[in-house]
Chain A
């Protein structure tokens, strides 16, 4: 809620001076190619296209953030020659997905404190640790685990390595393409677009995107979680039928 409120505040603040003057075109308008991404049985990833218009001056950054959830990072330790799970640390409200697209280098667009506040750039996601963990671990350890969280997310293709290029067409239109991999988490995604001029935030626009399972896969998932006992019985029945069919085929040969 507070994030949504702050995003809204940013939008209002940015547009307030413009509104006070005579009616003039909005400095930034955006839209998504699709507001719903359906994960069907054949899903192998999707490309999300964000496009919009601005008044031609300045640089743009687009941030796509997946649903937030707690993430636990484990560190393997070698004990008697075997690698086993040692220490673990839980980070609160880590974005399950995070990618940025920008028309220029982030540090050239805006001062670091603005980038920090808007959480633009993978190294600027706050990632606070769970209260229990923070007491027992040193800041260096927490930093190592935080870096490991980002590194693993990047390895899974869920966090971007570096901002993807966004292109400006004809001086007034822009487009940014964000890749959603096959293991993309389901839920509501926030898509925030920021316009900077002379290293100052001019306008921010937020929109949301829904990633959801659809079709047969969705039905199976719901079945598994909503009627798990029946699901278990169906799984057994399916196996019995497959085995029986196989034995019929055996007999014929």
Chain B
């Protein structure tokens, strides 16, 4: 059954969209990420113009992160102070990112930049996650190995403007989460992702936050950053397709339910290894489109709205 997407100006099979939404929802329920990194490339493979995939993707991530953040909130796994500082950086970063998005689109290079961001960030993060989960798995089989410290001290902990984050049991410079939020905000605007795949490992390994509060806090701030991006893109570039977003959300609400049920049965390091493999697969697929000789080197620019 075809459905006409009024902003994308084309009709797509509604069952493909429900399947994509469901698959991404399954993942967000399973692993606790928004799934934007998977959603945007899937929409592009389906023929949705990249700019609309990014704008609509960020809207869908709002929904996914709200449902995730609420679940973590009930368990007390959201560090509000940390979330607020991340958010301050995120708002600055996403506004900067939307501006970059518009400049790059005017230069005709936005598609390339979206693809390059995907390849670079996804392959780095996917590789790190895979390595970490394999190490964790080895540790669990060898309990005599030395335990990891609560957190390690790096250069980032010597920066000024120190702040106390009670829930995270940290006393660190506010510049660290602010900078992290800023980088994730830029990614949100350019890649149509929440940035959870980048922020979660950075919060654990770079900031030294306890793993229990990382996902909830990251999802909490992603709500606001993706909402900001959705608003700015809706106003500035008209690239948010509400009908597309609604169908995707319907699929992801159902998918996320199955994801959480499945998640209970799997172990943490297995989940992270799975996630790492998935992230690498997406990176490889995007890299392939950049490297392989196109069928037709000429293409038509999408009509500027």
Q: Using a CB–CB distance below 8 Å, which chain A residues touch chain B?
A: 39-45, 69, 71-78, 81-85, 88, 144-145, 148-149, 151-153, 155-156, 182-183, 185-186, 213, 216-218, 220-221, 223-225, 228-229, 231-236, 238-240, 242-247, 249-251, 253
Contacts and interface: CB of A to CB of B under 8 A. Distances in A.
Nearest to B260: A250
Given A43-B4, A151-B296, A243 B10 contact: no
A52 B238 CA distance: 42
A41 B249 contact: no
The 3 A-B pairs of least Cβ separation, nearest first, read: A243-B66, A232-B234, A148-B298
Contacts of A229: 231, 234-235
A43 B260 contact: no
B211 interface: no
Given A224-B240, A231-B234, A245 B3 contact: no
19 contacts: A45-B11, A82-B290, A82-B291, A182-B10, A183-B10, A217-B5, A221-B6, A224-B238, A235-B234, A235-B245, A236-B231, A238-B245, A239-B227, A239-B249, A242-B252, A243-B64, A245-B67, A246-B66, A247-B70
A145 B257 contact: no
Given A85-B108, A224-B238, A239 B6 contact: no
A246 B256 contact: yes
A100 B64 CA distance: 48
Contacts of A242: 63, 66-67, 249-250, 252-253
A213 B71 CA distance: 40
Contacts of A78: 293
Nearest to B242: A220
A245 B260 CA distance: 15
Contact of A88 (B29, B238, B301): B301
Among B6, B108, B223, the one with the most A-chain Cβ atoms within 10 Å of its Cβ is: B6
A250 B256 contact: yes
Contact of A42 (B3, B65, B300, B303): B3
Contacts of B221: none
Given A182-B4, A224-B234, A238 B249 contact: yes
Contacts of B291: 81-83
Nearest to A145: B298
Nearest to B56: A235
A69 to B, nearest CB: 7
Main secondary structure on chain A at its contact with chain B? Answer: helix
Contact of A245 (B11, B238, B253): B253
A35 B242 CA distance: 29
A150 to B, nearest CB: 10
B20 to A, nearest CB: 15
A220 B243 contact: yes
Contact of A183 (B9, B62, B230, B296): B9
B242 to A, nearest CB: 5
Contact of A83 (B65, B223, B253, B290): B290
A244 B67 contact: yes
Nearest to B2: A44
B231 to A, nearest CB: 4
Given A82-B291, A236-B231, A42 B257 contact: no
B66 A244 contact: yes
B154 interface: no
Given A185-B303, A229-B231, A236-B62, 19 more contacts: A41-B3, A71-B301, A74-B299, A148-B298, A221-B6, A224-B234, A225-B305, A235-B240, A235-B242, A239-B60, A239-B245, A243-B62, A243-B64, A243-B65, A246-B67, A246-B252, A246-B253, A250-B257, A253-B260
B111 A85 contact: yes
B95 interface: no
Contacts of A72: 108, 300-301
Contacts of A74: 108, 298-301
B44 interface: no
A213 to B, nearest CB: 6
Interface string B251-278: 0110011001100000000000000000
Nearest to A182: B11
Contacts of A76: 294, 297-299
B257 A239 contact: no
A45 B6 CA distance: 14
A232 B4 contact: no
